[in-house]
Amino acid sequence: MIDKNKHKQRQLAEEWFLKGNHDIETAQLLFDERGYNEVICFHIHQAVEKYLKGFLIYKGIRYKWIHDLEELAKACGDIDKEFLNYLDECVVS
C-alpha cells in the first residue's frame, strides 16, 4: 500500500509533467505557425523545468524555487546520473 505522502508526491509530479506537456504542445503550435523563436524557446525552457521539478517531487526531494535548468539537472543527477549527460544542453550561453 502506498502511503498518503507518496501518493500526493506522485499526484503532484504528474501535474507538473502534464503542465510540461502543455508547454511542449504550445511550443509545437507556435513553431508550426512560424511563431516568435524567443516565445517558442520560453515554452521549451518551461517544459524542461517542469519535467525536472516533477522528477524531484516524485523522488521526494526538496529543491530551491529556481528556474536554473543546470542546477535542477544537477539535483536530478544526484539521484540518477543519466541526467548529468544533459548538463551542456541545460546551460544558457
* Cell numbers for 87: 548538463
Instruction: Enter the pTM of the model.
Output: 0.91
Q: Are 16 and 51 in contact (CB under 8 A)?
A: yes
Summarize pLDDT for 36-59 with one digit per residue, the tens. 999 999 999 999 999 999 999 999
Read off the pLDDT band of 12 (50, 70, 90): very high
Q: How large is the angle between the packed helices 37-58 and 69-77, nearest 10 degrees?
A: 30
Average pLDDT over residues 54-75: 95
Q: What are the extents of the domains in the chain?
A: 4-90
